[in-house]
Structure 1
Amino acid sequence: MMLARNADSLFWIGRYVERADDMARILDVAVQQLLEDPTVDTDLMVGHVLTVLGFEPGPGAKSVWSLADRVAYDRSVPGSIVGLLQAARENARGAREVISSEMWECLNATYMGLAEAERRSRRLGPHDFLTHIKGRAAMFAGLADATLSHDDGYSYLLVGRSIERVDMIVRMLLSGDRASSPSWMSVLIAAGAQDTYIRAYRGAVEAEKVVEFMMIDRLFPRSIFHALRVAEHNLAVLDQRPDRVGVQSRALTLLGRARSDLEFIDPVALMRDLPEYLLTLQETCRAVSESIAEEHFHIAPYVSWTDAGLASGPDGEGLR
């Protein structure tokens, strides 16, 4: 059986890398809009992006550069992209015996190269840095799939990645504007879903179809349903309780309930009650994470991201 500290580290490596990747995706779309569309209200847009990502907007002038400084580069904020990758690297350092050398080298090289990537992006623009982060996150995910035994450690990594993915897709959908097709296209681009969506629906970008695709599509790996199913399957593999009816962990029960509710939901009702449903999913992710910490890692439950309902932001709280 895997040591609890190693299981804990793998779970959080999965979460940190996924969040860094998704934050880079959201920020990249926002930066492109701010730079290319002169009609965008910069203060409003920057404040909205900060809120979606769980940061307090704060005082002072707002610009593309101030947004990137705070969300991407700020080493004093553990919740920034740089801070998340540092946390992932430190967790990997403590779990060297259960990850592959290539996974460690990827995270270590990524972290060590952040300063140069930042200097380059300050000359060329934030897009260069954010593209670099997305590429390194994809490399890490590929190395984990290809070089890590698909045992308990791999399952903990996937559970962490999947729970974080649900939370981040929820944030993307909460940022959408029901009346604006460009806004929903931005959501698809941030999720890396635009090409798959267009091939699946072959039509105009409509709010109802985007929400349906991002929430209940069975095949797209970044849909909420798919991520819930992956998390549920891997947590079931890890659940060491006797195989009796109704005897399973609270975390597994919460995941199963969320997946089942989403699987059979009426799309019309989903769109009508979308904000409430998304916030419920966000709270489920929080509760699942706390339950896993208590049941699998044998530590007091804690919350990773403290911005309940996007009302407040961590700015460094909750990272381990």
Structure 2
Amino acid sequence: MGNKYSRRDALKTMVIGSGALSIGGVVSSFAAINFIDKNEAEKNSQKINHSVCRWCFQDIPLDNFAQQCAALGIRAIDLLKPSEWKTVEKYGLVCSMATDDFADVKNGFNNTENHEILQKNYKGLIDKASEHHIKNVIVFSGNRRGIDEKSGIKNCIAGLRPLLSYAENKNVNLVMELLNSKVDYPDYMCDNTEWGIALAEELDAPNFKLLFDIYHMQVMEGDIIATIKKHHKHINHFHTAGVPNRNEINDTQELNYAAIMKTIIETGFEGYVAHEFIPTYRNKMAGLQEVIQICNV
């Protein structure tokens, strides 16, 4: 995926690739998905707690999207801002990972100049999350900008430790995402599992966890199943997408998601698996339904 795809970009147009479903005519994403069986949610496996990242379906009104997600058996929506939480709660869904406009991939906790404003803003977000019984709030390392690995960890500890104490009293986790710096987020510091684990072990806080993005870590390091088995105690959230193009996780891409999901289940994982792919199907919700079926092992 190129840098043109970001969580802040509304996906206004989609190119229909060779892997797209052959569906006669353009099916509006705003329409109800009539192909879903009324008992679909009951049929879905309960071993995986499915979530989906909002930004990938930004062109579908949130109220409509939440209703359709609930019909698919999805339990949560990821990366929602406080103004959006009540909308999804109407349909029995929760926000599985909270964020807000100030949360910036490039400007994170590895730079001490960011600490004061980040701590102020995150305390406000933690308070709001706690009031809505939202467990997870996303944080970022920030870009390196010449900062070495050890200094980055030291700076993150200094910036995060006071917040972790505050968040623990509110029953909230701070979750740092692992992102690739090879394709999508050049210069991002927390771009490999070992760095994230080193930070987690130095912090030694029960409410600091990692968001293991399977797509990003496949791009950076591969060895997904072995890494999950080795480091699962520090992971409380997953993101999915196809590799190499960050689209649906079907047989057009290189990862065996059924095997990955089995591994996640075997570790005793009880958190959310949030699907974060760029839709290519004309009916985007059909693509999401397919992804859920693949992951229901």
Q: Quick check: TM above 0.5?
A: no
Please identify which structure carries the higher strand content.
Answer: 2
Please identify which structure carries the higher helix content.
Answer: 1
Higher relative contact order (CA 8 A, sep 6+): 1
Task: Give TM-score, length-normalised by structure 1.
Answer: 0.29
Task: Give TM-score, length-normalised by structure 2.
Answer: 0.30
